[in-house]
Structure 1
Amino acid sequence: MTPGILYGIGVGPGDPDFITLKAVKTLNQVDIVFAASSAKNSHSQAAEIAKPHLKASVPIQILPFPMTRNRQTMEAAWQDNAETVIQKLAQGKNAAFITLGDCMTYATYGYLLRSIRKLAPHIEICSIPGITSYQAAAARINTPLVEGEESLTLVSGVTGGDKFREISDHADNVVFLKAYKNAGDIVTALDEAGMAEKSVGIVKCGLDGEQIVRNVRVFQEKTSEYWTLIISKKSGQGLES
């Protein structure tokens, strides 16, 4: 039996209307959809975004991924979930693995992709990009991410502002993703670089409860929500209220 094709699909940052036409077309052709959740629950925001575009007959299977930095635990989960996907593909079923934003930008899909390539290199894989949260956020505040000869630096905020401190002298425009737990330290790092006043926080962009935070120093006073990112520009142009 010829194995099915795996499609990695970025479904956008939150608004179901931000999903691409190619993603919708593909979702209407697959036999099963996989989505990731925390090992602590079975909720998938990506699945919620995709549901309006899926046929009722297409099942969604949630794959648990532990939120941990323990390498051994993570690798075991990647392999277990890869084997689950491969099993369906081996039955000749075409499958989609959906992920928030873009499937190649800080996405669980990247880890799954490597595991499947290692375990079943014969499987055909097609990756379909999606709109990222920071693209949507920049559009929401009507702010160009880069202009002219400027550069854009994309930073994970999981460990706070230290990575930015290493590169702050060379950064024109910066986006911090996954900023929620360490947003306070990120703002401190921006303050040290003289960029806090030229920064905007966007919480739950495109989702219910969306917030635009013009004074990012509030993140130093209270823990921000999970869906938090910060855009900072050295020039500050475009970030005016």
Structure 2
Amino acid sequence: MTQGILYGIGVGPGDPDFITLKAVSILSRVDMVFAASSAKNSHSQAAEIAKSHLKASVPIQILPFPMTRNKQAMETVWQDNAGTVIEVLEQGKNAAFITLGDCMTYSTYGYLLKSIRKLAPHIEICSIPGITSYQAAAARINTPLVEGEESMTLLSGVMGGDKFREISDHADNVVFLKAYKNAGDIAKALDEAGMAENSVGIVKCGLEDEQIVRNVNVFQEKKPDYWTLIISKKSGHFIES
């Protein structure tokens, strides 16, 4: 039997209109869809975005991924979930693993991809890029991410602002993804670098309860929502929206 193809698909940052035509085309013909959720619940924003593009007969299976820094525990989860996906593919079914934003940018899919490559190197995999949250956020506030010979640094905010502190002297433009948990320390690090006044926080970009926070120092007093990113510029200015 011929194995199915796995499609890793970025479905965009949240606004259903930001899913690509190629992603829609593939979702309309796959036999199975997988999406990730926290181990604490079975909610998947990616699944909410994608479901209107699926045939009614196509099942969506949510794979839980616990948020832990225990490397061994995570390895076990990656292996188990990869095995679940491989089982479907080896039945000859085509499947999609959907993820918010871009499938190759701070994505659960990247870890799953490595596990499937290790366990079943014969499986064909096709990755479909998506619009990232920071692209959507920059467009929302009408502000270029980079211009001319500027550079842009993309950082995870999960561990706070220390990584930024290491490179702040060389950063022209900085984007912090996953900024919610340690947004206060990120704001503090930006303030230390003299960049806080030229920083903007975007919460739930493209969703109904979106917020644009033009004073990121408020994050030092109150932790924002999970769907939070921060864009900061060393020079130049944000355009008021």
Aligned equivalents of 2:123, 2:154: Cα separation in 1 = 31
The aligned residue for residue 123 of structure 1 is: 123
Residue in structure 1 matched with residue 9 of structure 2 by the alignment = 9
Q: Where has structure 1 moved over 4 Å in runs of 4 or more?
A: none
Matched, 1:183 2:183: yes
| Residue of structure 1 in register with 2:167 after alignment | 167
Q: What is the aligned partner in structure 2 of residue 112 from structure 1? A: 112
- Cα distance in structure 2, aligned partners of 1:38 and 1:226: 12
Aligned counterparts of 1:240 and 1:40: Cα–Cα separation in 2: 38
The answer for the alignment partner of 2:31 in structure 1 is 31
Check conservation: 1:199, 1:236, Cα contact below 8 A: no
Residue 239 of structure 1 and its aligned partner are, at CA, apart by: 4.3
Conserved 8 A contact 1:11-1:49: yes
- Secondary structure, in 3 states, of the residue corresponding to 2:75? helix
d(CA) in 2 for partners of 1:53, 1:86 = 23
**Cα displacement (A) at 1:173:** 0.2
1:195 maps to what in 2? 195
1:134 paired residue number: 134
- Residues 108-163 of structure 1, C-alpha deviations (whole Å, 9 max, x = no match): 00000000000000000000000000000000000000000000000000000000
3-state SS in 2 of match to 1:212: strand
**In 2, Cα distance between equivalents of 1:51 and 1:84:** 20
How far residue 57 of structure 1 moved from its aligned partner, in angstroms, is 1.0
Gapped regions of structure 2 (runs ≥ 5): none
Aligned residues: 241
The residue type paired with residue 34 of structure 2 is F
Measure how far apart 1:183 and its partner are. Answer: 0.4
Taking a change above 3 Å as real, the CA distance of residues 239 and 232 of structure 1, as seen in their structure-2 partners, is: farther
Identity over aligned residues, as a percent?
87
The aligned counterpart of 1:75 is: 75
User: 1:207 offset after TM fit, Å?
Assistant: 1.1
Who is 2:143 aligned against? 143
Q: Distance in 2 between matches of 1:30 and 1:59?
A: 10
User: What residue identity is the alignment partner of 1:9?
Assistant: I
1:4 alignment partner AA: G
Helix, strand or coil at the partner of 2:61? strand
Residues 5-58 of structure 1 deviation map (CA, whole Å, 9 limit, x = unaligned):
000000000001000000000001100000000111110010001112111111
The corresponding residue for 1:237 is 237
Residue 57 of structure 2 aligns with which residue?
57
Q: Is contact 1:33–1:61 with CA below 8 Å preserved after alignment?
A: yes
- Determine the structure 2 residue equivalent to 1:87: 87
Task: Say which is worse superposed, 3-12 or 53-62, in terms of deviation.
Answer: 53-62
Return 5+ residue gaps in structure 1 as ranges: none
In 2: Cα distance, 1:54 partner to 1:168 partner: 44
Q: Is the 8 A contact 1:33 1:97 kept in 2?
A: yes
Quote how far apart the aligned CAs of 1:238 are.
Answer: 2.8
For normalisation by structure 1, the TM-score amounts to: 0.99
